[in-house]
Structure 1
Amino acid sequence: MSLRRVEGGTELPVRAIPGASRNEIGGVREGALLIKVTSQPERGKANQAITRVLATTLGVRKSQVSLSRGDRNREKTFLIGGVEPEALRERLRTLVVEDGEGR
């Protein structure tokens, strides 16, 4: 997965799947973390749901997760504030390995 260190944290590529049956990490596809959310992509609801899933899954505060790029696209980039790429990569590796395809 292509994580990028930036000022303030790490950028994480995400592929959004709105309208899913539940909120979960669906693994890694084409270098991006696949995140499924039940919310529909209207008025930012899916983006808010992805922010909550990331914060909960990564064990960070919701205020540390912000959308950098892709507000209206399935391909998004989130900034995880205050987290180094190595630490984020290790946490994601643990999640994906433990659950096979992810949560």
Structure 2
Amino acid sequence: MAKATLPHLAIPGATLELRVTPKASRNEIREEAGQLRVYVTTVPEDGKANAAVQKLLAKALGLPKSQLTLVRGATSRDKTFRVEP
């Protein structure tokens, strides 16, 4: 699946748990066995990968970036984002 469309997950107040792979060959979101996996080409330094994940996830959800807040996992591969109302 090259590009995931996830508007069904864009519920205000919902939390999205995902696994991130930085320095991947392409930007991509996959839904594998009920878990979200996000691949970004950005390097994990100075929050660049987190910003890339937020942008890619917002696009897939059909939301503006400002409606996604990183709740947990700023320096981890396992991250939790909250959809703000």
Instruction: Give aligned pairs, total.
Output: 76
Q: CA deviation at 1:21?
A: 1.1
Q: Gaps spanning 5+ residues in structure 1: where?
A: 83-103
In proportion to residue count, which structure has more helix?
1
Q: Given the two structures, how large is their TM-score scaled by the length of structure 1?
A: 0.67
Work out which structure has the larger RCO, using CA pairs closer than 8 Å and 6 or more positions apart in sequence. Answer: 2
1: CA distance, partners of 2:71 / 2:49: 15
2: CA distance, partners of 1:70 / 1:14: 10
Q: Gaps spanning 5+ residues in structure 2: where?
A: 1-8
How much is the aligned-residue C-alpha RMSD, in angstroms?
1.8
1: CA distance, partners of 2:32 / 2:45: 24
Runs (4+) off by over 2 Å:
26-29
> Could you say which residue in structure 2 is the equivalent of 1:72?
75
Q: CA deviation at 1:80?
A: 1.3
